Amino acid sequence: MIIDQHQRIHSYLRVSLIERCNLRCTYCMPEEGIPLLPKSHIMRNEEIVAIAKEYVDLGVTKIRLTGGEPLMRRGLDNILEGLQDLNVDLGITTNAILLDQHWDLLERTGCTKINVSLDSLIPEKMNALSRRNKFDIIMANILGTIKRGFQVKINVVLLKGTNDDEIVDFIEWGKDLPITVRFIEFMPFSGNKWDWNENGISLKDVLQKAESHFGADNIERVKDAPNDVSKNYRVKGAKGKFAVISTVSNPFCDTCNRIRLTADGKMKNCLFSNSETDILSAFRAGEDIKKVITDGIWRKKAVRAGMDEFEDFSDPSQNQENRSMIRIGG
């Protein structure tokens, strides 16, 4: 069992497959880009599967692949086939650009839980936010993926003055689709110019906008899944749900069961932790990585890697020494 000093059992592993991406979302990728690590530092396909197996032996039941853009990873078929043999709940987080080319593989290997980032329903705005002109293919692939019967969630990072005017539009858009639209509070990472007063939109703001448009009586709270990071809601009678991931204004650390493994094989016991455990080097040196894993998780802090108070987010030594999000994987 992988347990921390606060008695939280960890059963969910998020693995970043790649640091590269075909978008340049402003809140994720620093404007100047990121220096890419040499290939030898990145986990090989068979190492990913072998390391994942160690986690599964220790009680992990759910694995989500992320990045960078995980669908750009060479050998994704080998990785998914290897992970399929581990009999875990498999999902992927993607920007959807390459989804149509991977539908068969994802179906065949049981990787059916697909989270897609989409920050605006307005093509020009989405293209400006992601610094690339890919809106049309993203939207076509989202709708195609839903039609194929995958379980789809949409991730919308909210930025004040940029896309907060689309909160109601997103809820309306998702209402008739079998999906959940999840609004994510903007989080601070190295190089993303985070300033909560300037560009933060909170859970409270989302609910206010939803209630004033649909009427408070028409918004119902939906029971969250165990260890769910989002608070879920539905407009009465709607097929789709909406949700808020309120890491900044309302953290959910007491039920956290997540472990993150970066593409270069470093384990983060918290998204916000700037200390990492080097799993890949230990694996390559032939060490017993089960002990390295359990020791690294044991040290996990109670709340947001020690940023207990909201004010701690504004301390650059706490939030800017972390990796940029593109090198963690969300």
Angle at 110 (CA atoms; ends 105, 111), nearest 5 degrees: 75
Residue 280 makes contact with ligand SAM by CB under 6 A = no
Closer of 69 and 264 to ligand SF4 (Cβ): 69
Residues in contact with ligand SF4 by the rule CB under 6 A = 21, 23-25, 28-29, 67-69, 95, 117, 130, 326
Report which secondary-structure segment, H or E, holds 327.
none
29, interface contact from ligand SF4, ligand SAM, none, CB < 5-8 Å by kind: ligand SF4
Size of the site for ligand SAM (CB under 6 A): 21
Letter string b/e over residues 251-273, b meaning 16 or more CB atoms within 10 A of that residue's CB: bbbeebbbbbbbbbbbbbbbbbb
Binders of ligand SAM among residues 190 to 229 (CB under 6 A) are 192
24, interface contact from ligand SAM, ligand SF4, none, CB < 5-8 Å by kind: ligand SF4
Report the residue from 67, 91, 240, 296 that binds ligand SAM according to the rule CB under 6 A: 67
91, interface contact from ligand SAM, ligand SF4, none, CB < 5-8 Å by kind: none
Residue 69 makes contact with ligand SAM by CB under 6 A = yes
**Cβ proximity of 97 and 114 under 8 Å:** no
The C-alpha atoms of residue 74 and residue 181 are separated, in whole angstroms, by 29
Q: How far apart are the first and last CA of the chain?
A: 24
Closer of 85 and 136 to ligand SAM (Cβ): 136
**Cβ proximity of 15 and 311 under 8 Å:** no
**In the complex, residue closest to ligand SAM by CB:** 330
Binders of ligand SAM among residues 19 to 48 (CB under 6 A) are 21, 27-28
Kindly state the smallest distance separating residue 326's Cβ from ligand SF4, in Å.
5
For residue 66, the cross-strand partners are 16
The stretch among 62-70, 170-178, 256-264, 313-321 that binds ligand SAM (CB under 6 A) is 62-70
**Residue 29 vs residues 185, 192, 325: alpha-carbon distances, Å:** 16, 7, 7
Report the residue from 45, 66, 145, 162 that binds ligand SAM according to the rule CB under 6 A: 66
Q: In what order do the strands lie in the sheet with 241-245?
A: 219-222, 231-235, 241-245, 179-185, 151-158, 111-117, 89-94, 62-66, 12-16, 258-261, 266-268, 277-278
Kindly state the smallest distance separating residue 316's Cβ from ligand SF4, in Å.
21
Kindly state the smallest distance separating residue 115's Cβ from ligand SAM, in Å.
6
How many Cβ atoms are within 10 Å of 198's Cβ, its own excluded?
11
Binders of ligand SAM among residues 132 to 171 (CB under 6 A) are 155, 157
**Cβ proximity of 64 and 6 under 8 Å:** no
Closer of 25 and 267 to ligand SF4 (Cβ): 25
45, interface contact from ligand SF4, ligand SAM, none, CB < 5-8 Å by kind: none
The C-alpha atoms of residue 26 and residue 13 are separated, in whole angstroms, by 26
User: What residues make contact with ligand SAM under the rule CB under 6 A?
Assistant: 21, 27-28, 66-67, 69, 93-95, 117, 155, 157, 184, 186-187, 189, 192, 325-326, 329-330
